[in-house]
Amino acid sequence: MTGDAKAALQQIRREAARRLEARRDGRARVAVQVSHCSISVGADGVAEALSACLPDAAYVVQAGCDGACFEAPKVITALPDGGNRRLINAGAADAAAVLAGPHAAGAAWPEDFYSRQHRLALDGCGEIDSEDIDDYVAHGGYEGLARALSMTPGEVVEEVKASGLRGRGGAYFPAAMKWESARSVPSDRRYLVVNAEEGEPGIFKDRHLMEGVPHRIVEGAIIAAYATGASEAYLYINAEAGLSARRMQLALEQAADLGLLGGDVLGSGFGLAAEVRRGAGGYVCGEETTLLNTMEGYRREPRLRPPFPTESGLWAKPTVINNVETLANVPYILATGAEAFRRVGSGAESGTKLISLSGSVRRPGVVEVPMGTPIRDIIEGIGGGPVPGQTLTGAAVGGPSSGVIPESMLDIPIAPGRLHDTGVILGAGGIIALDGRAEVLDVVRMMAAYNAAESCGKCTPCREGTPRIVDALDRIASNGGSEGDLEELRYLAHVVGAASLCGLGQAAGTPVVSALHFFGNEMSAVR
């Protein structure tokens, strides 16, 4: 099996290299970064304009965003002589500058944005052609899969266990433990589900991966399926993430065409069928059992646990559910070994974490940093600090299921689990920098309103309690916050968190608790 899988991949790589060279044929390669973020500032129009007007000496490909969203639209040109040019904040009229213009146009080129990062999952994102499997294969793609197929499924699980990889969707459960659990349950069929729902505000890193390096997700999913004995895989993608779904669908089709999916993956005898499923809509669909309910045609409500999905998941069969970012790390671990991954990070927490960085920051986007990196380093070192004329007052960390911290707490290192006793967590990895223009009460009110709107309504504490939290915040905003209002707010936050069925309700009070702890004066100030 070892020789067969590796030899098959080498043959695929040789053929991919020939096709790429024939396409290049002495011409410049112009990569336009077209992603959900850059489309909002016209990147798709730039790609169309360049395709229409560039001379025969160049050809255009579409890449994803490399995470520097503030530079979009971005065009990277690889010249035939080996040189390259980068055009940032480009427009449809910049065709001449693509081939003969300056090294960079627009904003100053921020080298520290990249030099302070450690890119594993994002490696090649923004440069690799997002819609061509040949480009991914030529850059070492599917090497991890070939090595995995040279091992037994149990050995693959042990390799991932040795790496220390935890899930990157927010719960940080050890990935190998989940795989091992599903594999240990006797069953005639097992499933793998890729959780790409990512519906919460301030989080957009999974879309960057799917739109920039879709084959890395496919490769990670195939390895996970092999390790767990799954014969079918489903990519559950947010209903509003149209570009992500289109590129992932194309990646599945291309992988199948090259024998990387289907009945005999790389000649190994292992078979896997995979397809895209669109999310049912709503933040709660990111919760594992709610996701499974919607796939089976039921209401978007969580299930009681146990049993857990690894025991009885999709159609009552053992099911592994992994986040997009989690699977994007798996090819690196298998290709380079567990120790290489473990050397990245801090202390017991290995590897990197993708952070969706937004708010009052000069350089918003998606960054990848080692576990243990202080939040301040991300906001100020990579993000360039607050926008001109403003001063940082704190940050909203982890989305609506987490909370807010003051500027004095920004030196906290990112890590799984709680970042503070108030319940503030890293979650899926969103950091929204706040300055003096953002009143904490307004920020918390928006989080509370979002949780109330997204509640599925199944359990009474969440259904009735989250709107009451919003009402209490509104009363505080209007009358300055009596001690009775503040006490009710504390009580509601506790009861909703303690009695709710799923993670949405269990964490709905955290923004309130953290705000009252860190910003008590601002929360009760007379307005």
Q: For residue 481, give the CATH number of its domain.
A: 1.20.1440.230
Torsion of CA 276, 281, 283, 285, to 10 degrees: -50
Clarify whether residues 60 and 203 are in a common domain: no
pTM of this structure:
0.95
Tokens, residue 40 = 């909002």
List b or e across 247-281, with b for residues whose CB sees 16 or more CB atoms inside 10 angstroms.
Answer: bbebbbebbbebbbbeeebbbbebebebebbbbbe
Q: Is 274 helix (H, G, I), strand (E, B) or coil?
A: strand
Clarify whether residues 93 and 165 are in a common domain: no
Instruction: Count the neighbouring beta carbons within 10 Å of the beta carbon of residue 283.
Output: 24
Clarify whether residues 396 and 468 are in a common domain: no
In this prediction, residue 107 carries a pLDDT of 44
CA atoms within 13 A of residue 51's CA, in its CB half-sphere? 11
Residue 113 forms part of a structural domain: no
Clarify whether residues 178 and 272 are in a common domain: yes
Residue 122 forms part of a structural domain: no
Cβ contact 350:426 at 8 Å: no
Residue 169 forms part of a structural domain: yes
Residue 215 forms part of a structural domain: yes
- Domain harbouring 79, CATH code: 3.40.30
Clarify whether residues 355 and 399 are in a common domain: yes
Q: Are strands 349-350 and 273-278 parallel, antiparallel or unpaired?
A: unpaired
Clarify whether residues 212 and 297 are in a common domain: yes
In this prediction, residue 94 carries a pLDDT of 81
Question: 324-336 and 214-228 are packed helices; what angle lies between their axes, rounded to 10 degrees?
Answer: 80
Bridge partners for 196 per DSSP = 237
Beta strands in 44-95 (DSSP E): 58-63, 75-78, 84-87
- Domain harbouring 174, CATH code: 3.40.50.11540
Clarify whether residues 165 and 219 are in a common domain: yes
User: How does pLDDT run along the chain (527 residues), one tens digit per residue?
Assistant: 446 999 999 999 999 999 999 999 999 999 999 999 999 999 999 999 999 988 888 999 999 999 999 999 999 999 998 888 889 999 888 877 777 765 544 444 567 899 999 999 999 999 999 999 999 999 999 999 999 999 999 999 999 999 999 999 999 999 999 999 999 999 999 999 999 999 888 999 999 999 999 999 999 999 999 999 999 999 999 999 999 999 999 999 999 999 999 999 999 999 999 999 999 878 899 999 999 999 999 999 999 889 999 999 999 999 999 999 999 999 999 999 999 999 999 878 999 999 999 999 999 999 999 999 999 999 999 999 999 999 999 999 998 889 999 999 999 999 998 999 999 999 999 999 999 999 999 999 999 999 999 999 999 999 999 999 999 999 888 877 677 888 999 999 999 999 999 988 999 999 999 999 999 888 775 44
Bridge partners for 370 per DSSP = 352
In this prediction, residue 55 carries a pLDDT of 83
Cβ-based neighbours of 234, under 8 Å, separated by 6 or more:
191, 192, 193, 194, 274, 275, 276, 277, 295, 314
- Domain harbouring 383, CATH code: 3.10.20.600
Clarify whether residues 180 and 260 are in a common domain: yes
Clarify whether residues 319 and 234 are in a common domain: yes
Clarify whether residues 99 and 159 are in a common domain: no
Domain span holding position 71? 22-108
Q: Could you give the CA distance from residue 229 to residue 182 in angstroms, rounded to a whole number?
A: 9
In this prediction, residue 1 carries a pLDDT of 44
Residue 154 forms part of a structural domain: yes
487 CB-contact burial (10 Å; exposed 0-12 / middle 13-18 / buried 19+) = exposed
Residue 120 forms part of a structural domain: no
In this prediction, residue 76 carries a pLDDT of 93
In this prediction, residue 83 carries a pLDDT of 85
Q: Could you give the CA distance from residue 244 to residue 208 in angstroms, rounded to a whole number?
A: 8
Residue 11 forms part of a structural domain: no
Clarify whether residues 374 and 480 are in a common domain: no
In this prediction, residue 417 carries a pLDDT of 86
How long is the chain? 527
In this prediction, residue 3 carries a pLDDT of 62
The residue whose two tokens read 């959780």 is 195
Q: Which of 325, 342, 359 is the last residue of a domain?
A: 342
Clarify whether residues 360 and 251 are in a common domain: no
Residue 312 forms part of a structural domain: yes
- Domain count for the chain: 4
